[in-house]
């Protein structure tokens, strides 16, 4: 474990230990703050003065007439992962996927709630140069200008996203209009990003379909958007800069608004919602000027199943489609993932993926049609045991195994259908503070 990983581990443990103290000092100009430490898992976990935000899979506050409030939230998730892989392209490396999300806001007048959301990660410094080991994964280039192949790129570090928003309450119910601007943040296409949705929070791996019509838009540059919530329907739209951030850079560039996307969400019930999105992205890859425009589409569903003896099953189903990406007319991805848990220490989770890849994307040169896509399959089963539960977080020990199935043309390069195995420590936590009304 390198020095940065040790420092990060120490920081998170310190914050978690601080969260165990129940004697929080009351600020002299405010009511005693109320504390929430339970991570919300769906719309039914939101209070009467909150709505479910699908971009971050969290509860968003609504202003109340005559009740001014100030809120602060901190959520973090980090994995310390050792990976072992089979085959000629297998890689045995240590890496630390991580993210920290902080949000602060306050009501303005009777109907406005203004907040800022900051997403941070240190993956640029906690991933190997060739990326987090993941067979058949692709995307972006490293600092040596080499594409990430069989490795997940680090997310933009240290700022993964920063979003300013105004949520305007419409009437006395939960209808609202949200206006937001993000120098880097979530455009309104794709499903809930994998690090936010409950079914993916226990898995340290990014989906193989991350760039194929799924959640690549969560690190979009220069986003200007809106979300309208009326009853059980959410209508979202945004314009943004299409060029994807470079993971090797520490920057926060702004660009012209040359791309657009829309998303429709319907809440069938508090435990079941469906989502569809479409986007047109101009010049997404700065290193490939011939790639002028791509289209992204997705359909997804999210369900919570309440089982016997307090067990809860979260599952997600996603279909993604990209047109003209990597010079292929269409590339598709299908994902199913789940998380089964209760108040007991055991967590069972898994993921099944079918993703179209080309030989050219994976730098396979010994095939006759390198631009012809074939389906790669990855089946993952995982288990995490919560060793320690704190008032605002937990520490878990996990293990997972992934069986990959490759097209016939890829088998020589990958040594057949290789296995991957991971052991890891997971540190996660969440704290929300409601400072109440000002005196």
How many C-alpha atoms does 173 have within 13 Å on its Cβ side? 5
Structure tokens at 437: 């009304």
Query: How would you write the pLDDT of the chain (439 residues) with one tens digit per residue?
Result: 443 444 344 443 433 443 333 333 333 333 445 555 566 777 778 888 889 898 888 888 999 888 888 999 999 999 999 999 999 999 999 999 999 999 999 999 999 999 999 999 999 999 999 999 999 999 888 888 899 999 999 999 999 999 999 999 999 889 999 999 999 999 999 999 999 999 999 999 999 999 898 988 999 999 999 999 999 999 999 999 999 888 989 999 999 999 999 999 999 998 999 999 999 999 888 777 788 899 999 999 999 999 999 999 999 999 999 999 888 999 999 999 999 999 999 999 999 999 999 999 999 988 989 999 999 999 999 999 999 988 889 999 999 999 999 999 999 999 999 999 999 999 999 998 877 654 4
Cis ω before 406 (30° cut-off from 0): no
State the pTM of this model.
0.88
Structure tokens at 199: 């079914």
Q: 3-state class of 162 per DSSP?
A: strand
**Domains of the chain, first to last:** 3-20+35-434 (2.40.160.10)
Q: 3-state class of 62 per DSSP?
A: coil
DSSP H stretches of helix in 104-218: 123-126
CB 210 within 8 A of CB 216: yes
Distances in Å between the Cα of 137 and the Cα atoms of 1, 85, 229, 297, 376 are 24, 13, 36, 20, 10
Question: Can you say whether residue 217 is alpha, beta or left, with left for phi > 0 and alpha for psi between -120 and 50 degrees?
Answer: alpha
């Amino acid at each position: 474990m390198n020095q940065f990983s040790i420092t990060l581990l120490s920081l998170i443990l310190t914050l978690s230990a601080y969260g165990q103290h129940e004697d929080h000092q009351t600020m002299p100009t405010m009511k005693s703050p109320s504390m929430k430490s339970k991570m919300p898992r769906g719309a039914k976990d939101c209070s009467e003065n909150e709505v479910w935000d699908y971009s971050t899979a969290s509860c968003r506050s609504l202003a109340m007439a005559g009740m001014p409030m100030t809120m602060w939230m901190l959520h973090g998730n980090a994995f310390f992962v050792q990976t072992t892989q089979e085959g000629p392209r297998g890689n045995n490396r240590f890496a630390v996927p991580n993210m920290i999300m902080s949000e602060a806001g306050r009501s303005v007048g009777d109907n406005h709630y203004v907040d800022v959301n900051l997403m941070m990660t240190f993956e640029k410094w906690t991933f190997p140069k060739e990326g987090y080991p993941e067979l058949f994964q692709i995307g972006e280039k490293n600092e040596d200008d080499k594409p990430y192949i069989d490795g997940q790129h680090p997310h933009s570090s240290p700022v993964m996203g920063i979003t300013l928003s105004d949520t305007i309450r419409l009437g006395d119910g939960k209808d609202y209009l949200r206006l937001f601007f993000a120098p880097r943040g979530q455009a309104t296409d794709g499903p809930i990003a994998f690090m936010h949705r409950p079914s993916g929070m226990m898995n340290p791996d990014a989906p193989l379909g991350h760039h194929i019509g799924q959640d690549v838009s969560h690190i979009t540059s220069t986003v200007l958007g809106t979300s309208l919530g009326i009853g059980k329907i959410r209508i979202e739209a945004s314009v943004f800069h299409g060029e994807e951030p470079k993971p090797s850079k520490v920057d926060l560039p702004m660009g012209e608004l040359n791309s657009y996307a829309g998303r429709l969400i319907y809440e069938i019930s508090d435990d079941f919602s469906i989502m569809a999105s479409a986007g047109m992205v101009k010049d997404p890859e700065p290193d490939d000027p011939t790639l002028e425009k791509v289209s992204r589409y997705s359909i997804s569903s999210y369900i919570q199943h309440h089982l016997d003896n307090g067990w809860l099953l979260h599952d997600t189903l996603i279909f993604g489609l990209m047109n003209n990406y990597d010079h292929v007319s269409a590339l598709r991805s299908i994902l199913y993932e789940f998380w089964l848990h209760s108040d007991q220490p055991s967590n069972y989770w898994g993921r099944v993926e079918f993703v179209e890849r080309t030989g050219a994307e994976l730098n396979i040169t010994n095939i006759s049609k390198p631009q012809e896509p074939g389906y790669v399959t990855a089946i993952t089963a995982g288990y995490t045991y919560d060793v320690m539960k704190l008032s605002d977080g937990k520490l878990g020990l996990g293990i997972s195994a992934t069986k990959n199935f490759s097209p016939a043309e890829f088998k020589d390069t990958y040594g057949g259908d290789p296995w991957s195995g991971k052991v890891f420590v997971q540190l996660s936590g969440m704290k929300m503070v409601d400072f109440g009304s000002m005196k």
